Structure formats: C-alpha cells, structure tokens
C-alpha cells in the first residue's frame, strides 16, 4: 500500500490527502449536528443546595427537554471549585461533559498561585445563565438589625463574628472578604466542605453573605434576618431591602452562573448549547423560576460571555491585590 502511494503523482496524492481531510471534517460536523445522542453531564463545583446546584438543576431540566437527552447534574465540590474544573478540563471535548461556570473560576485565578490549569485557556465559554446578588444575613439572635449596627458591633467585638462559606473562593467567602476590607471590620471566615446553612440557622455561625437563592426561604420564614443585598441595586426578590453600598460606598458583589466545556469542543456543539440555553432564558416559566430564587437571567452570545469572563478576571484580580486577599 505504501509503495502504491509513493508511486502516485504528486498532484493526485495531494488531492487524495485533501479529500481525506475534508471527509474527516465532514464527519466531525455531522457528529456535532447529531449531538447529543446520549446523556450529558453537567458538573457543579459546590455541594447540593448551593446556588450553583440550584441554578444548574433549573437549566438542566430545560436542556433535557430541549435536547431530548437527559442532562444530569453531578456535584463535585472541593478545593474552591478546582476539583470539578480539572475534571471537565480533562474530559473529552465532545460536549458530553460540561462545567457549571461560577464566579469562583474568575476569582481563583488571583486567589491561588499554583493552579494546574489556566481557566481562560482551558475552558471554552458556552453560555451565561444568570447573575445573582447575595444577601447579608444574621441569625435572629444577633444584636444588629442594620448594616451600620453590624459594623459598630463588629468593631467593638473584633474576631468574634463567625462567617461561613462553601470554601475558599466561593461567593460567600469573597463577598465577606470584600465587606471586611471596605467596612474595616474583623470577621472570622469558616470554610465548610458541605452546607453551612444548618449551623447558620442554629446560631453557631452568626452572619453570612450567601447568594439569595441559598437562604431566601429561611429569610421569608423569619429564621434568618436580612440586613442588605450585595448588589449595587435592591433585589425584587427581597423588596424594601437596601444594598450594602448604601452604607459602605462602592461595595458590590454578584455571583455568576454559566456553562463551559473543555477547550477543543466543536463550535457546532457550543453554538447548539448556547442557543438552547438562551431559548430557556427567554421562556417565561424559566424566568419565573429564576426570579423566585432571587437570580436574574443573563443571556449572552458565546463571544460576549467569553469577553465578560476575561474582563471580570482582570477587574477582580486588581481588587484582590489591593485588598490583599489570598487563599489561606
């Protein structure tokens, strides 16, 4: 066979080679257009009941119907989201393993000096799902009922307020660290490997800065007291509640949720997923579900989402360096 190929005229050999390449490319496109033909796994970086998990299940249910294949949410918490991120980076770039992108992916680029991956290089942006404000909450037994009262109490009682999070680089951690820096108070960060909400409800943890969906049922039931939202503007989910920025000028923190895939995933698959997600975000029922949770749909093109992630990585990197915030 090799001898036959070697005897072929150069022009004919090049034509055959080009034809083989074209056939391979056509096969890849055809495969991408058939996608998906089996279950898709959506890997979440935090525990069940976290914002990532809640929003992922909403969009996974929609995608399962839209794509006519089951989209399975799988929680893989650990190392501030790096466990799940590495798992997806190492997966085959075929669209069957997706990552629930969260703000921690943006923040970890600055928080950690020795990550084994480059998030912007190794994960292809697929779609933005939502942006979610957090809420500053305290246990009902806590003496402060407003942000100014909280600041005054914290300054009079340094290192006596325990503030939990889902781990280094999670939204509750970063929102709390930003508050500490800008309000000039000393809070004790307590990272959890599972949900911290039970300890918050019991009063073992005195305050927290979780995304609204994580605690909104407990706020409505009176089991937690909300002091302010972390966004620059009030949230419709918590009417009448002011933003922290009203008391700590310039304070603002929101949580991102989106979809990513291993770098090298065919563009046709990414485009199909982006269109499916954006169709869901335009659906009135999905919008109502997200609004009830306290999060806001944020549809973007793949290019827009990619630019947003890069811009936010730069912005938060500058802020962390100014505040001296690093993973402990």
What's the CA gap between 46 and 166, in Å, rounded? 7
pLDDT for the residue 49: 83
pLDDT tens by residue, the chain, 328 residues: 434 444 445 555 455 545 555 444 444 454 677 999 999 999 999 888 888 899 999 999 999 999 999 999 999 988 878 899 999 999 999 999 999 999 989 999 888 888 999 999 999 999 999 999 999 999 999 999 999 999 999 999 999 999 999 888 888 999 999 999 999 999 999 999 888 999 999 999 999 999 998 899 999 999 999 999 999 989 988 999 999 999 999 999 999 999 999 999 999 999 999 999 999 999 999 999 998 888 889 999 999 999 999 999 998 998 888 878 877 6
- Contacts of residue 82, Cβ cutoff 8 Å, sequence gap at least 6: 108, 112, 115, 116, 117
Only one residue has tokens 């999905």, namely 286
Q: What angle do CA 92, 94, 98 make, to 5 degrees?
A: 80
- Contacts of residue 198, Cβ cutoff 8 Å, sequence gap at least 6: none
What's the CA gap between 92 and 121, in Å, rounded? 16
User: For the chain, which residues make up each domain, given as ranges?
Assistant: 39-131+256-323, 135-246
- Give how far Cα 46 sits from Cα of 78, 121, 140, Å: 7, 22, 27
- Percent of the chain that is helix, strand, coil (3-state, to 5): 50, 20, 35
Residue 138: CB atoms within 10 Å: 23
pLDDT for the residue 43: 98
Cβ contact 261:122 at 8 Å: no
CATH code at 135-246: 3.40.190.10
First and final C-alpha spacing in the chain? 62
pTM of the complete model = 0.78
What's the CA gap between 246 and 65, in Å, rounded? 42
Any bridge partners for residue 43, and if so which?
74, 99
What's the CA gap between 107 and 127, in Å, rounded? 19
What's the CA gap between 286 and 63, in Å, rounded? 11
- Give how far Cα 70 sits from Cα of 62, 117, 124, 274, Å: 10, 29, 22, 17
Where does residue 222 rank: exposed (0-12), middle (13-18), buried (19+ CB within 10 A)? exposed
DSSP 243: B
Residue 292: CB atoms within 10 Å: 12
What SS3 state is found at 161?
coil
The encoded tokens of residue 309 equal: 């992630």
Please tell me the CATH superfamily of domain 39-131+256-323, with its number.
Bordetella uptake gene, domain 1 (3.40.190.150)
Please name which of 242, 245, 270 lies closest in space to residue 258, comparing C-alpha atoms: 270
The encoded tokens of residue 70 equal: 């089951």
- Contacts of residue 238, Cβ cutoff 8 Å, sequence gap at least 6: 135, 212, 216, 219, 226, 229, 294
pLDDT for the residue 327: 75
Q: What angle do helix axes 302-323 and 103-111 make, rounded to 10 degrees?
A: 40
Q: Tell me, yes or no, if the two domains 39-131+256-323 and 135-246 fold the same way.
A: yes
């Amino acid at each position: 066979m090799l001898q036959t190929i070697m005897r072929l005229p150069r022009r004919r050999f090049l034509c055959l080679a080009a034809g083989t390449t074209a056939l391979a490319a056509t096969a890849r496109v055809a495969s991408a257009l058939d996608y998906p033909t089996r279950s898709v796994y959506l890997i979440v970086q935090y525990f069940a009941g976290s914002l990532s998990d809640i929003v992922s299940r909403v969009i996974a249910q929609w995608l399962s119907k839209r794509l006519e294949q089951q989209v399975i949410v799988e929680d893989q918490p650990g190392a501030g989201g790096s466990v799940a991120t590495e798992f997806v980076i190492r997966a085959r770039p075929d669209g069957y393993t997706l990552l629930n992108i969260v703000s921690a992916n943006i923040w970890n680029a600055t928080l950690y000096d020795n990550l084994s991956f480059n998030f912007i290089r190794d994960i292809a942006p697929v779609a933005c799902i939502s942006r979610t404000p957090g809420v500053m909450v305290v246990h009902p037994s806590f003496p402060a009922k407003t942000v100014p009262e909280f600041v005054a109490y914290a300054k009079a009682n340094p290192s006596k307020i325990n503030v939990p999070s889902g781990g280094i680089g999670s939204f509750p951690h970063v929102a709390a660290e930003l508050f500490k820096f800008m309000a000039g108070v000393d809070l004790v960060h307590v990272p959890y490997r599972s949900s911290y909400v039970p300890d918050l409800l019991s009063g073992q943890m005195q305050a927290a800065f979780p995304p609204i969906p994580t605690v909104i049922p407990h706020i409505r039931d009176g089991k937690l007291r909300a002091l302010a939202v972390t966004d620059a503007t009030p949230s419709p989910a918590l009417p009448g509640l002011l933003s922290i920025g009203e008391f700590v000028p310039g304070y603002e923190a929101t949580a991102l949720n989106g979809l990513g895939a291993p770098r090298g995933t065919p563009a046709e698959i990414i485009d199909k997923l982006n269109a499916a997600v954006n169709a869901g975000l335009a659906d009135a029922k999905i919008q109502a579900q997200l609004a009830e949770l306290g999060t806001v749909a944020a549809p973007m093109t793949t290019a827009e989402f990619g630019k947003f992630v890069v811009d936010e990585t730069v912005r938060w990197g500058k802020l962390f360096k100014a505040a001296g915030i690093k993973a402990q």
